[in-house]
Structure 1
Amino acid sequence: MSVVAFERKQNTGEWSERELSTILAALSAATAPGTGREWETGVTERGDVQFYLLSPLPDQACELCVSRIGGRYILEDGSGRLLFEHRNLDLVALHAKAAVPSTSWLMVRVIMLWCAIRSATDEKLDLMLLEGEELFVQFVPQLAAFA
């Protein structure tokens, strides 16, 4: 891992209203009430501000992090991988919006449940049809004797 030395300014410990509103506007779909996601701000040990997009309860894992170090904004995913960095917060916010998955976790679970139910019922239905077909094949010759 390489370390990059950033220029530091004093009193960098808070987000401005404009900065927060820019980030929240870009992530408005991700932080909507139905998604279960929340956001939080924090400060590094060096006094640099950070914005965290947290996954729904109970995990509340960090999905996305925007940091301001010196005059640069750094966008990282939940694993700490660098996604984008720039001095323009609007560009970073656009990349943050694109980095957030649009499908909610609830929708993914509903789709998975639907596929599991459909798979189980298809297997049972196939077995019932095959058994019925075998019975039909066994009784047809005997029914032909009556004709």
Structure 2
Amino acid sequence: MVAFERKQDTGEWSERELGTIVAALGAAIASRTGRTWETGMTENGDAQFYLLGPLPDQACVLCISRIGRRYVLEDGTGRLLFEHRNLDLVGLHAKAAIPSTSWLMVRAITLWCAIRNTIHEKVEPLLTEGEELFAQFAPQLAAFA
């Protein structure tokens, strides 16, 4: 018997693998979202695919790694979301893991909540106190009329 050396996976994605990932994340990578993607390698030389957020931060939104024959899906913070040997299944889970609300919408909602909270905390007490002052001084103002 002759022991042959097993071919190690390189840290590069095949065209089929990249095509599968890009097809699954097509809506997230569309130009109107501002998201882009990059490929890279882990410290051990395993292939990685990064879905990056819009400029200027370009924070990592999702990461798909190929470790051996398994595909590992993580969110931008490194939390494990899914892993499997079938890249199509990993792609479906990646598509479902992408937030559908745009960053502009999130900022608009945050601004609206901040304004509403400011009105509730600062302006409403002034209006309530103003009514009380008016109720106390109205009879005296009527005497001048």
1:43 paired with 2:61, answer no
1:111 paired with 2:106, answer no
Contact 1:9 1:70 in 2 (8 A): no
Structure 1 unaligned spans of 5+: 1-7
Worse-superposed segment, 10-19 or 70-79: 10-19
> Hey, what's the Cα distance between the residues in 2 that align with 1:46 and 1:135?
73
Q: SS state of the match for residue 49, structure 2?
A: strand
Aligned match of 1:4: none
TM-score (norm 2): 0.76
Shift of the alpha carbon at 1:53?
Answer: 1.1
1:138 paired with 2:110, answer no
Instruction: Please report the RMSD computed on the Cα atoms of aligned residues, expressed in angstroms.
Output: 2.6
Q: SS state of the match for residue 26, structure 2?
A: coil
> Hey, what's the Cα distance between the residues in 2 that align with 1:36 and 1:28?
12
Count of aligned pairs between the two proteins: 139
TM-score (norm 1): 0.75
**Residues 109-139 of structure 1, C-alpha deviation per residue, up to 9 Å, x if partnerless?**
1111112123333455424532442243224
**Residues 12-54 of structure 1, C-alpha deviation per residue, up to 9 Å, x if partnerless?**
3322222212212222232222332221001234432110112
Contact 2:9 2:68 in 1 (8 A): no
2:29 to 28, 31, 54: 31
Worse-superposed segment, 39-48 or 136-145: 136-145
Aligned match of 1:121: 119
Worse-superposed segment, 53-62 or 83-92: 53-62
1:54 paired with 2:52, answer yes
Give, as a single letter, the amino acid of the residue that structure 2 aligns with 1:14.
E
Provide closer, same or farther for how the CA distance between residues 94 and 124 of structure 1 changes in structure 2, counting only shifts above 3 A.
Answer: same
